[in-house]
Chain A
């Protein structure tokens, strides 16, 4: 097959991932096209792209990054030969991938068929089942209504979890602990699924209590080679939203790593997977693991795998899309050291992680050999309500887990963000928590083991109290006679005084 090499990539995304893709593209001497939107006309990702497509006139409510037809037109108009979807938006939309191919555009990602199969959780479950991959018990396919859900739940036993068939990212997902809750939860999950994925169908499976979230990074080429790059642990999550990830995981030994890794590769091979992908598992306290789903895109947390493997995953994606064969065999992959990623979001941890959009007034990130920052914002940028609330990813390396945590603790105190509230106080708490330090935390850590979601040293509140008192004094107890000029009252223009007096 004659392969034309990619010369210009349209980035169908925004924010830090757009910046990240442009960075690698520049190293590979590939040009990039970024789309300027009305919501973020001054976004940082626009400053490093070679070509800007100005779409800021479009005021429709649907972001351009979800508009398949328009993206194809933009790619053709700007003579891009490939599209990188990043994560989110259309990254796991099989129709979009197909549309790219139809228009002779290279889709930097897996085949539409693989996206479709893994994207539909019921089909994915069937594939995994056929391959003998361990899985949580659950419904055979989608379920029609709450009665059917209750029936299955009775069979496999509570608690169960309702999941959106086309879901991901925690939306359309609800845990049901009692039969009485089924009706309410079913409706919520289904409504949410319809809203988020345009597909109300859901399925039910056994809910694994207090598991760890372990995922394997997969790389496959178009020649049928598939390898894994080790695991990431993403158990620190809240409402199924990941907050902190690390690689590798302290819950795995070499043997388990090999078993799970092989399974991950096997699942990928079952759909002839190529490009980068992630196979997610749940690991219970007895080290039983269950296949959860496969994400057919680059993940937010990919940098920690890059740190411990030394590979550039975006580069690999582009090479694979170019039709190149993987240079690495499984035995070439060695995991070195430890990496931690903190997702610094514009969220108010004191208000239960509620989004806190706003303008970033000042942003200063630590510069150290052990720190990598992936961000799409700078001082003066805005975190807008219409997109996700990410400000930056703080990625820290160490020679082992202990060292990485120590470095992380130092780096967290050097991050400076003003303008919105952030998840920083949460991470400051986390790196000090014994359960995080000894690695025994699970996905229910935040809900169960934390009484408050933030860390402050005992003196910080006192300093804040001092400031409040100082302000009160300035406002109320200052000897105003020093500042107040009463003489001004007499200092009136004779012209005006005369007029005023004569008026009476």
Chain B
């Protein structure tokens, strides 16, 4: 085609202008901060040549500017479009920090809203690559209204399409609520921050010195606040992990997740599982070792690994099909449930439920974490979230009791009477109202007080309690669990249970929505 004709003159001029706008010098500026440019991020995320950008040539709103100035630029600091990620349609927007600090003006916001609405219409996942200084001050209230529209769209799409935010630079002020509303937040160590009020305001109001990193760095949000579910050391690993993460998720809430071929190296009968639980009931072990021996090889993708680590959550696959895994972690705080882990578990379960992902629970829980701190901070209110989420979920729910299953925590962790579909127990399971030590101390208080050798008597009673009460056989014989199984056949049992539950459907009474104890 000949592009020298007069029709094409304007067209090629514009092409040249945009080439100039995204020049190597701008890129070098980003690189020198250890960051990639918006284009590089998009290219890394999408399959070769599959990304189609829209609205590349829009310009900032033409408003009389009386304070500061708005740079003329194409695209208004955000790239939006769609393309294929591992062969599947995905929508995305990437803020461009090299143009006015990625600040959000009204045109910028409208571009994002447009792509959000398209993603919802097509039932495709949407990815937000965030690197923005916040609302564009020069554009005033218009940019704020832009944020509101974006929030509204996220809330509309919530539970219909997966929405994922990747924080690759600053996200400050009201802007933080856009990632907070999405399903999952990825952050990059050392180069991304999130806070409602930044270090300067903290200094001004409270006279406290704090760095951006210590206030709202990736590590803080992954470990302490729980805002970020996944953090990585660099942008490439973040995006590669995001691509992998997407392969676990369905495109929307009426499609099933994709199937990823299993290499078959984890056999249906796996004798290694028999040796994983230590003989000593007070000894810790890593529940992730148990998970790894049951699910498809290397398929476990942990979410919120650092937050509430006493409960492990994550996606995995069985025979190629996505499952959600929730497991008590005996290695951390003996696997007790506390506020953080309850909230983490509840949110994960609700995501699985919204997107038709079966939930497999591995249980080894001694109870709820006791203490004034926990009670005053609302373990009742927060523990109830986990209970609510489990009970409310209508996806297939399967529990495997590995060891301890005591008291209220046993009920909460997807017990059969709470709507669990299948409940299996390993022979090492201890199912009872409370642990041997506590039970013996209450039931035999008098005998122990009067005994000449209370230590020896207690030891004897504990052993008796373990033999008579704290085992899986009583619960099995009375139907509170479905079957006591040989650990080696766990994978086989779960797969056949999932097959049986393939077409599970539960009629929920009509209502606007339940009132979860938020």
Contact = CB atoms under 8 A, between A and B. Distances in A.
A and B touch in the complex (CB under 8 A): yes
Contact of A489 (B237, B257, B298, B320): B257
A484 interface: yes
Interface in A476-504: 476-477, 479-481, 483-486, 488-493, 495-497, 499-501, 503
A372 interface: no
A484 B84 CA distance: 13
A16 B275 CA distance: 23
18 contacts: A359-B275, A475-B298, A476-B241, A476-B243, A480-B247, A483-B260, A484-B86, A484-B88, A489-B250, A489-B255, A489-B256, A489-B258, A492-B254, A493-B502, A495-B505, A497-B254, A500-B254, A501-B254
Interface bin, chain B: 20 to 34
A485 B255 CA distance: 12
B244 A475 contact: yes
A480 B299 CA distance: 13
A401 to B, nearest CB: 43
A489 B88 CA distance: 11
Contact of A481 (B87, B244, B298): B87
Given A480-B86, A480-B243, A485 B503 contact: no
Nearest to B240: A476
Grouping DSSP codes into helix (H, G, I), strand (E, B) and loop, the A interface class, with mixed when no group exceeds half, is helix
Nearest to B236: A476
Contacts of B243: 476, 480
A492 B505 CA distance: 13
Contacts of B254: 492, 497, 500-501
Interface string B71-92: 0000000000000101110000
Nearest to A499: B505
A485 B258 contact: yes
A485 B322 CA distance: 12
A476 B503 contact: no
Contacts of B259: 484-485, 488
A500 B260 contact: no
A477 B240 contact: yes
B53 interface: no
Contacts of A500: 254, 505
Interface in A371-387: 382
Given A475-B298, A476-B241, A500-B505, A490 B255 contact: yes
A501 B260 CA distance: 26
Contacts of A496: 503, 505
A359 B271 CA distance: 13
A500 B261 CA distance: 27
Contacts of B258: 484-486, 488-489
Contacts of B244: 475-476, 480
Contacts of A479: 86
Contacts of A503: 508
Given A476-B241, A480-B243, A500-B505, A492 B256 contact: yes
A58 B228 CA distance: 50
Interface of A: 359, 382, 475-477, 479-481, 483-486, 488-493, 495-497, 499-501, 503
A491 B503 contact: no
Grouping DSSP codes into helix (H, G, I), strand (E, B) and loop, the B interface class, with mixed when no group exceeds half, is loop
A392 B311 CA distance: 40
A43 to B, nearest CB: 15
B41 to A, nearest CB: 16
B260 A484 contact: yes
B286 interface: no
Nearest to B463: A59
Contacts of B447: none
Given A475-B298, A492-B255, A481 B47 contact: yes
A486 B240 contact: no
Contact of B260 (A359, A476, A480, A499): A480
A473 B180 CA distance: 31
Nearest to A492: B256
A116 B177 CA distance: 78
A287 B260 CA distance: 71
B251 interface: yes
Contacts of B47: 481
Contact of A484 (B237, B247, B275, B508): B247
B88 A486 contact: yes
A484 B87 contact: yes
Contacts of B84: 481
Contacts of B237: 476
Given A476-B240, A480-B86, A480-B243, A488 B256 contact: yes
Interface in B252-269: 254-261
Contacts of A486: 87-88, 251, 258
A481 B256 contact: no
Nearest to B320: A485
Nearest to B505: A499
B403 to A, nearest CB: 18
A476 B241 CA distance: 7
Contacts of A359: 275
A166 B255 CA distance: 73
A464 B259 CA distance: 31
Contacts of A493: 502-503
Interface string B209-244: 000000000000000000000000000010011011
Given A493-B502, A495-B503, A497-B254, A485 B275 contact: no
Nearest to B510: A503
A33 B251 CA distance: 67
Contacts of B508: 503
A89 B87 CA distance: 65
4 closest A-B pairs by CB: A481-B87, A489-B255, A476-B240, A480-B86
B88 A485 contact: no
A382 B260 CA distance: 36
Contacts of A490: 255
Contacts of A489: 250-251, 255-258
A112 to B, nearest CB: 33
A6 B444 CA distance: 53
A175 to B, nearest CB: 35
Nearest to B251: A489
A480 B257 CA distance: 14
A204 to B, nearest CB: 39
B145 to A, nearest CB: 30
A480 B259 CA distance: 11
Given A480-B86, A492-B255, A485 B260 contact: yes
Given A481-B87, A496-B503, 7 more contacts: A476-B241, A480-B244, A488-B257, A492-B254, A493-B502, A497-B254, A501-B254
Which of B87, B244, B251, B260 has the most chain A CB atoms inside 10 A of its CB? B87
Nearest to B261: A483
Interface string B496-518: 00000011010010000000000
Which of A359, A475, A477, A485 has the most chain B CB atoms inside 10 A of its CB? A485
A483 B297 CA distance: 14
Nearest to B250: A489
A476 B301 CA distance: 12
B256 A491 contact: yes
B435 to A, nearest CB: 19
Nearest to B254: A500
Nearest to A358: B275
B503 to A, nearest CB: 5
Contacts of B247: 480, 484
Contacts of A492: 254-256
A165 to B, nearest CB: 32
A500 B241 CA distance: 31
A454 B168 CA distance: 42
A481 B241 CA distance: 15
B104 to A, nearest CB: 31
Interface string B283-317: 00000000000000010000000000000000000
A5 B502 CA distance: 73
Nearest to A489: B255
A167 B250 CA distance: 66
